[in-house]
Amino acid sequence: MFKRSTTSVAILLLLVLGLSQALFVREVHASDTLKSGMKGEDVMMLQQELSKLGFFNASPTGYYGEITLSAVKNFQKAYGLYPDGVAGKNTVNRIKELLYDKILEKEMEGDEVFMLQESLKRLGYFSVKPTGYFGDLTEAAVLKFQKANGLYADGVAGIKTLSLLRDILAGAQKSGVKTSRSSSRNVSYKTPWFGGVDKIFKRGADATVYDIKSGLSFRVKRTFGTNHADVEPVSKEDTAVMKRIYGGSWSWSRRAIIVTVNGRRIAASMNGMPHAGLDKYASGKYISNRSAGYGYGYNYDTVKNNGMNGHFCIHFYKSRLHVNNKVDPLHQEKVEEANQWAQRNY
C-alpha cells in the first residue's frame, strides 16, 4: 500500500511539474519581446509582416539587426507607438491588427481615418478638411486613388491601398515635390453636414463658437437637430456673450462663425434666436407657449439654468432647415464667408 501510494504521489508530482513547466513556457512566450541581436522564426515572421506593410525593404533573414530595428521604429512612429525599436506586445498586436483585421471603410471614424484623409488630400484626391469620419467623400477619394494607381477599386482602404499611399507620399518628400498641404490657403473649412459634421459634432458634445465679426467666443452643447445642429450655451456666462454678439437682443439674423470641435475648425452660420423651449420644464416634455412663439410641442431645452429658453441653430455646409428640408441660402452665404475668413487667418 505504501509503495503504491508513493508511486501515485510521484506520478502526480511529475504531472504537476510538467503542467507547471508548460504553463511557464507559455507565459514566457506570451511575454517575450523581439529586439536587437535576437534571431529565429519569430524574427523572420516579424520581418515578413513588416515587409507586407511596407516598412521592411530587404530579404527576411531571421536576424534582428539594424535594418529590422529601423523598420520597427518607423512602424512605431507611423502608428503612434513609442519608437524604441523593440517589438513588444503593443507593436506586435498593431501589426497583426493591420495585416489581418484592420481596414478603413465607410462609417468608421478616428485618428487613422483622419490620417487617411490627410494623405489623400496631400495627393489631391480629397478636397475638404479632414474630419476623421469615413463618409461618402472619403470613399470617393479612395476610389479615385485606387483607380489612378491600378488597384482594385472598392473604396475600402486596405493594406495595399494604405501602403501605396505611404510609399507615394514618401517618394514625393524625398524628391522635394510639394503636395497640396503646402498651402494652407487651399484648405477648405466647409465640411459637409451630412456624413461629416453630424458625425463629428455629435449630440451631447461641446464646441466653441467664434464670431468672426466681433471676435467673441462662447461654449455650446449640441442637444438636438437632424438637418443641422440645435445647440444651447453651456452656462449663463456663455449666453451673456452670445447676447452681446447680437447687440443685447435676440435676432434671427445669420452670422458667420467658426465652430471648433475637438480641435477641428469648421465654417458655420448661426442665428441668434432662442426658440422651441422653456428652461423650467424637463427636456422632451410636451408643453405649451414655447419660446419665440412656437406654441405647443416638445420642450427643446436641455441645458438648464443657462439663462436661455430653448435652443438656437447652427448651420454647416449643405445643412438644411427643419421646417422644409431645404438648404437655406442665407446660412450658406455665411458659411462661405466664414470659410474665406478661416483661409486668410488660420
User: Does residue 13 carry a pLDDT above 60?
Assistant: no
Residues 176 and 81 reside in one and the same domain: no
Give residue 100's pLDDT: 65
DSSP code string of 259-308 = EEETTEEEEEEEEE--BS--TTS-TT-EEEEEGGGTEEEE----STTSS-
Domain of 165, in residue numbers: 111-186
Asked whether residue 169 is assigned to any structural domain, the reply reads yes
Residues 207 and 252 reside in one and the same domain: yes
Could you give the angle at the alpha carbon of 27 between the alpha carbons of 25 and 33, nearest 5°?
100
User: Does residue 158 carry a pLDDT above 90?
Assistant: no
Mean pLDDT of 63-81: 88
Average pLDDT, the chain: 84
Asked if 286 contacts 298 with a C-beta cutoff of 8 angstroms, the reply is: yes
Reported as a single tens digit per residue, the pLDDT across 187-207 is 689 999 999 999 999 999 999
Which residue, of 102, 120, 146, is where some domain finishes? 102
Count other Cβ atoms within 10 Å, centred on residue 157. 27
Query: How many domains does one find in the chain?
Result: 3
Instruction: Identify the residue whose cell numbers are 438636438.
Output: 224
Give residue 11's pLDDT: 42
Which residue, of 186, 206, 229, is where some domain finishes? 186
Asked whether residue 12 is assigned to any structural domain, the reply reads no
H or E stretch at 70:
helix 66-78
Residues 200 and 341 reside in one and the same domain: yes
Query: What pTM, to 2 d.p., does this model score?
Result: 0.51
User: Does residue 166 carry a pLDDT above 70?
Assistant: yes
- CATH number of the domain residue 137 falls in: 1.10.101.10
Residues 261 and 333 reside in one and the same domain: yes
Mean pLDDT of 136-158: 86
| C-alpha cell of residue 271 | 442665428
H or E stretch at 6:
helix 2-31
Reported as a single tens digit per residue, the pLDDT across 89-145 is 888 887 876 676 557 888 888 878 888 998 899 889 999 988 889 999 999 999 999
Mean pLDDT of 34-40: 93
DSSP code string of 20-58 = HHHHHHHHHHHH--B-TT-BSHHHHHHHHHHHHTT---S
Asked if 62 contacts 41 with a C-beta cutoff of 8 angstroms, the reply is: yes
User: Does residue 305 carry a pLDDT above 70?
Assistant: yes
Asked whether residue 330 is assigned to any structural domain, the reply reads yes
Task: Print burial letters for 316-340: b (CB count within 10 Å at least 16), e (below 16).
Answer: bbbbbeeeeeebbeebbebbbbbbb
Exposed, middle or buried, 42 (CB in 10 Å: 0-12/13-18/19+)? middle
- CA distance linking residue 164 with residue 143, whole number of Å: 13
Residues 299 and 203 reside in one and the same domain: yes
Asked whether residue 290 is assigned to any structural domain, the reply reads yes
Asked whether residue 303 is assigned to any structural domain, the reply reads yes
H or E stretch at 314:
strand 312-315
Reported as a single tens digit per residue, the pLDDT across 253-290 is 999 999 999 888 999 999 999 999 999 999 999 999 99
Asked whether residue 10 is assigned to any structural domain, the reply reads no
Asked if 178 contacts 127 with a C-beta cutoff of 8 angstroms, the reply is: no
Residues 118 and 80 reside in one and the same domain: no
Low-confidence winner among 62-76, 174-188, 259-273 (lowest mean pLDDT): 174-188
Residues 55 and 153 reside in one and the same domain: no
Asked if 315 contacts 198 with a C-beta cutoff of 8 angstroms, the reply is: no
**Selection from 102, 287, 316, 104 nearest residue 196 by Cα:** 316
Residues 336 and 226 reside in one and the same domain: yes
Which residue, of 52, 77, 102, is where some domain finishes? 102
Residues 180 and 259 reside in one and the same domain: no
